[in-house]
Amino acid sequence: MSVEKDLETVEWDVGEEGHITVDNSECVDCEEKPCLHLCPAQCFDYQEEREGGIYFSYEHCIECGSCMVFCANDPDRGAVSWTKPDGGKGVEYDLG
Ligand code: SF4
Ligand code: SF4
Radius of gyration of the chain (CA): 14
In this structure, are strands 90-93 and 10-13 parallel, antiparallel, or unpaired?
antiparallel
CA of 49 to the centre of ligand 2 (A): 23
CA of 64 to the centre of ligand 2 (A): 5
Cβ of 39 less than 6 Å from ligand 1: no
> What is the domain partition of the chain in residue ranges?
20-85
Helices (H), 24-93: 35-38, 66-67
Cβ of 19 less than 6 Å from ligand 1: no
Cβ of 33 less than 6 Å from ligand 1: yes
Cα–Cα distance, 46 to 63 (Å, whole number): 20
| pTM of the predicted model over 0.85 | yes
Low-confidence ranges of the chain (pLDDT < 70): 1, 96
Predicted pLDDT at 1: 58
CATH class of the domain defined by 20-85: alpha beta
**Residues in Cβ contact with 30 at an 8 Å cutoff, skipping those fewer than 6 apart:** 52, 76, 77, 79
